[in-house]
Structure 1
Amino acid sequence: MPSMHWFVSFLPVLITARGVLTQGCRVRPGDVDQDAWKQLNESTSGHLFAVVPSAQYCFNIGGCTDEQWTSSTWRSDNMPGSMLQPNWEQDYDANPPEVCLRNTTGNCKQGNVPHYVVLAESVEDIQAGVNFARTNNLRVAIKSSGHDYLGRSTAKDSLLISTHRLTDITIHDDFNGQGGAVTVGSGVRLNQIYAALKEKGKIFVGGGTATVAAAGGYIQGGGHSSLSPLLGLAADNTLQFTIVTADGQYLTANETENSDLYWALRGGGGGSWGVMVSATFRTFDTFNATYRYTVLTANSTNSSDIASLMTIHATHIHDFDEVRAGQYYWAFRNDSDQTQSLFLRTYLPRLTANESRETMQPFLTDALASGTWTVSEDTFQETVVNDIVYKEDATGAENMLMGSRLVPEEVYETPEAIGKMYEELFDTGLAIVLGHIIAGGKVSENAGIDSAVHPKWRTAKTHLITADYWTDDVVSPSGAVALSSRFQTEFLPIIEKVVGTDAGAYMNEADAYEADFATTFYGDYEKLSQVKSKYDENDLFIVQTGVGSERWDKDGMCKVA
Structure 2
Amino acid sequence: MSPSLRTLLLAASFVPAALARITVRNDPDPEAEADSLDALDFSDAAAPLALTRPGGVHYACKCLPGESCWPSAQKWNTLNATVNGRLRVHIPPGAVCHSSFQGPFGTVNTYDPVKCAEATANWSNEQWHVEQPGSNLWTYFTNDTCRPTTNPSDACTLGYYGVYVIMANKKQHVKAGIDFARRNNIRLIVRNTGHDFIGRSTGYGALIINMHGFQDITWTDNYKGPGSYKGGAVTIGAGVQANTILAQGHAKNPPRVVVTGECPTVGISGGFIQGGGHGPWTTLKGFSADNVLSFEAITASGKYVTANEKKNPDLFYALKGGGPASFAVILSTTMKTFTDLPSAGATLYINTTHTFDPDVIWEGTKIFHKWSNHFVDNGLYAYYEILPFTLRVRPWVAIGKTKAQLDSILQPMIDELDAAGIPYDFESKAFPTFYDLYVDLFEPEAAGESALTGGWMFNHHDVATNNDGIIEALKTATAPRSDLFGIIVGHLFNPGYGAPISNSATHPAWRNATDFVITVLPVPAGSSLAQKADLQDVLTNVVDEGLRSASTSGCTYVNEADPYQPNWQSAFWGSEYPKLRALRAKWDPLGVFYAVSTPGTEKWEVIDYGTRLCKRLPAPGPSTGQ
SS at 2:79's partner residue? helix
**What is residue 213 of structure 1 aligned with on the other side?**
267
Query: Would the aligned equivalents of 2:348 and 2:424 in 1 still touch at CA under 8 Å?
Result: no
Contact 1:368/1:374 (8 A) holds in 2: no
Give the Cα separation in 1 of the matches to 2:499 and 2:406.
Answer: 26
Greater displacement, 461-470 / 262-271: 461-470
CA drift of 1:22 comes to: 3.4
Q: What is the CA-CA distance between 1:245 and the residue it aligns to?
A: 0.8
Name the structure 2 match of 1:493.
545
Q: Is the aligned partner of 1:526 residue 2:538? A: no
CA distance in 2, matches of 1:493, 1:169: 42
CA 253–367 in structure 1, closer or farther in 2 if over 3 Å, else same: same
The one-letter amino acid of 2:372's match is: I
8 A contact 2:343–2:433 mirrored in 1: yes
Q: Is the 8 A contact 1:152 1:544 kept in 2?
A: yes
**SS at 1:388's partner residue?**
helix
CA RMSD of aligned residues (A): 2.5
Q: After TM superposition, list the pairs within 5 Å mapping 1:73-472 onto structure 2.
A: 73-77=127-131, 79-90=132-143, 99-103=145-149, 106-177=154-225, 178=229, 179-200=231-252, 201-298=255-352, 304-321=359-376, 323-333=378-388, 339-375=389-425, 378=427, 380=429, 382-389=431-438, 391=442, 393-414=444-465, 415-428=467-480, 429-439=484-494, 443-472=496-525
Distance 1:143 1:175, change over 3 A: same
Instruction: Identify the residue that residue 37 of structure 2 maps to in structure 1.
Output: none
Matches of 2:143 and 2:554, distance apart in 1: 31
Q: CA deviation at 1:340?
A: 3.2
CA distance, structure 2, for counterparts of residue 384 and residue 275 of structure 1: 34
The one-letter amino acid of 1:101's match is R
Distance change (3 Å), C-alpha of 1:483 and 1:256: same
Residues in 2 aligned to 1:286 and 1:280: alpha-carbon distance in whole angstroms: 18
Shift in Å at residue 198 of structure 1? 1.6
Instruction: State the distance in 2 between where 1:340 and 1:281 align.
Output: 38
Determine which structure has more spread, i.e. the larger CA radius of gyration: 2
Deviations 1:312-356 (A, max 9, x none): 1233223324641100111211xxxxx433333111112233433
Matched residue SS, 1:161: strand
2:77 matched to 1:38? Answer: yes
CA distance in 2, matches of 1:29, 1:387: 50
User: Which residue is equivalent to 2:614?
Assistant: 558
Q: Which moved more, 1:348-357 or 1:250-259?
A: 348-357
Aligned length: 534
Cα drift, residue 47 of structure 1: 0.6
Q: Contact 1:543–1:556 at 8 Å: present in 2 too?
A: no
Which is further off, 267-276 or 65-74? 65-74
Q: Residue 539 of structure 1 corresponds to which residue in structure 2?
A: 591
Percent identity for Structure 1 against Structure 2: 28
Classify 1:318/1:505 alpha carbon distance in 2 versus 1 (closer, same or farther; 3 Å). Answer: closer
- SS of the residue corresponding to residue 311 of structure 1 reads helix
Q: Secondary structure at the match of 1:214?
A: coil
**1:385 Cα shift?**
0.9
Shift of 1:7: 2.7
On the 8 A contact 1:90/1:100 being kept in 2, the answer is no
State how far apart, in whole Å, the 1-side matches of 2:342 and 2:289 are. 24
Kept in 2, the 8 Å contact 1:294–1:379? The answer is: no
User: C-alpha separation between the residues in 1 aligned to 2:117 and 2:209?
Assistant: 25
Tell me if the contact between 1:437 and 1:462 (Cα under 8 Å) persists in the aligned partners: yes
- SS of match in other structure, 1:292: strand
TM-score (norm 2): 0.80
Q: Is the 8 A contact 2:355 2:423 kept in 1?
A: no
Deviates more, 1:428-437 or 1:79-88: 428-437
Q: Report matched runs for 1:60-71 at 5 Å.
A: 60=110, 61-62=112-113, 63-65=116-118, 66-71=120-125
User: Unaligned regions of 5+ residues in structure 1, if any?
Assistant: 11-18, 92-98, 334-338
Equivalent AA in structure 2 for residue 22 of structure 1:
A
- Residues 491-538 of structure 1 show CA distances to partners (whole Å, capped at 9, x for unaligned) of 1232223103x5210111111322221111123222111111111111
Q: Name the stretch that deviates more: 31-40 or 356-365.
A: 356-365
Question: Hey, what's the Cα distance between the residues in 1 that align with 2:311 and 2:303?
Answer: 14
Q: Is the 8 A contact 1:150 1:511 kept in 2?
A: yes
Does structure 1 retain, via aligned residues, the 8 Å contact 2:236–2:269?
A: yes
Question: Which residue matches 1:22?
Answer: 50
- In structure 1, C-alpha distance between the alignment counterparts of 2:173 and 2:189, rounded to whole Å: 15
Greater alpha carbon shift after TM alignment, 193-202 vs 205-214: 193-202
Displacement after TM superposition at 1:272 (Å): 1.1
- Letter paired with 1:282: K
Shift in Å, 1:108: 1.5
Asked if 2 retains the 8 angstrom alpha-carbon contact of 1:292 and 1:379, the reply is: yes
* CA–CA distance in structure 1, aligned partners of residues 541 and 62 of structure 2: 33
Q: Distance in 2 between matches of 1:110 and 1:68?
A: 20
CA contact (8 A) 1:292 1:347 kept: yes
Conserved? CA contact 1:542–1:548, under 8 Å: no
Partner of 1:8: 20
In 2, Cα distance between the equivalents of 1:395 and 1:356?
29
Change over 3 Å in CA distance of 1:301–1:511 after alignment to 2:
farther
Distance 1:165 1:57, change over 3 A: farther
- Give the partner amino acid of 1:383: P
Aligned-partner SS, 1:521: helix
Q: How much does 1:485 deviate?
A: 2.2
| CA displacement at 1:379 relative to structure 2 | 5.8
SS in 2 for 1:230: helix
Q: Which residue identity does 1:186 align to in structure 2?
A: A
One-letter amino acid of the structure 2 residue matched with residue 215 of structure 1: S
Q: Secondary structure at the match of 2:123?
A: helix
